[in-house]
Amino acid sequence: MTTYKHFCKTLFLAGISLSFSLYSDQQLEVLEVKTSQSYEISKNLPGELLPFQQSKIAFEITGRITSIYVDIGDRVKKDDVLAKLDDSEVNANLEQAVARLDLANQVLNRFEDLRKKGFISIQDFDKAKSEYLVAKSQVKFFEVKKSQTILRAPYDGFIQNRFVDEGTVINGSNPILEILDANKVEAHVSIPETLVNNLEVSNDYTFEIGQEKAKGKFKRLAPMSASGSNSRLAIFEFSDFFIPGSVIDLIIKIKKSEQGVWLPINSLSQSEQGLWSVYTVSDDGSNRVEKDLVRIVHFENNYAYVSGTLKDGDLVILGGLSKIIEGQTL
């Protein structure tokens, strides 16, 4: 009696284990199939990779730029000094304010002592106290102004643009530099309405970024795409950094409910009326080659998901008619 030898080669496709067997007498490869109630298809949707944060930064006050310490392409850390304004006038005002504060403090201390001894009125004492508080606020004011002559990085990033040079006199709102976040990026992908239900917030999805694959977390869905079409704009966040502007594709898996089996394409032979032939070894002990007709539901790589009369345990002959003929006894 003819027997089958199973060797250790198993393929996992769409969650289905495909185990190959070798027919010992004629060296035929056969596949023991397993039916499934559904299958998955993959769709690649192009998207745009953008920095998580992108800012045009400026000084808060008017002044002349004395130094710019960075240029396009430089990487900076949060709070790094990027540029400075001429602070000579601010320093002079601050010194005057400190001097006035010192004088007001001396006067207040003297008036406090005199008040205790009853030599001055409460009104005179309150006036001295008020002048001290005004002087103190002036010092704080010019300290803030001095800090505003220094432009610092708001977060870790890369310098994307530089808009002015040293010596330029700027107003408070003129952008000096543009900085991109160096820690995170996000992807914007236009999703057709028909596929929106296949996404779930906070789930990770696979992206192709150049030659790499990466996981992006689905954060939110905008009401519509930027182009105003019926598509929705989906926004994904990455924990790893990738260069903004890189070519990306979202790989989305779509589950379809239909009973069938996965077969290698080389086990199919074209038949009539859009159907395909599959050849199996009969399970009645006669080892006869039988033909089944199937319909191709979906192609993926070198495999096809087919529906027809195949059932669990059927042994499909790989190679089809190139290996055997219908009705042949093995």
- Category of 4 on φ-ψ map: left (φ > 0), alpha (ψ -120 to 50) or beta: beta
Using a cut of 0.75, tell me whether the model's pTM lies above it: no
Instruction: Identify the three-state secondary structure at position 140.
Output: helix
| pLDDT confidence of residue 330 | 54
Q: Right CATH number for 4-39+256-322 from 2.40.420.20, 2.30.29.30, 2.40.10.120, 1.10.10.10? A: 2.40.420.20
All structural domains of the chain with their residue ranges: 4-39+256-322, 44-53+182-255, 57-180
Average pLDDT over residues 6-11: 34
pLDDT in tens, 217-270: 999 888 765 555 678 889 999 988 888 888 899 998 888 888 999 999 888 888
Take residue 178 and report the two structure tokens written for it.
Answer: 């543009």
Residue with more model confidence, 328 or 88: 88
CATH topology of domain 57-180: OB fold (Dihydrolipoamide Acetyltransferase, E2P) (2.40.50)
Supply the DSSP string of 53-111, one letter for each residue: -EEEEE-SS-EEEEEE---TT-EE-TT-EEEEE--HHHHHHHHHHHHHHHHHHHHHHHH
Residue 292: HSE in the Cβ half-sphere, 13 Å Cα cutoff: 23
Take residue 102 and report the two structure tokens written for it.
Answer: 């010192």
6 and 19 Cβ atoms separated by less than 8 Å:
yes
Q: How confident is the model at residue 103 (pLDDT cuts 50, 70, 90)?
A: very high
Looking at every residue in the chain, the average pLDDT score rounds to 83
CATH topology of domain 44-53+182-255: Elongation Factor Tu (Ef-tu); domain 3 (2.40.30)
Residue with more model confidence, 15 or 329: 329
236 and 201 Cβ atoms separated by less than 8 Å:
no
CA neighbor of 58 nearest in space, from 190, 194, 149: 149
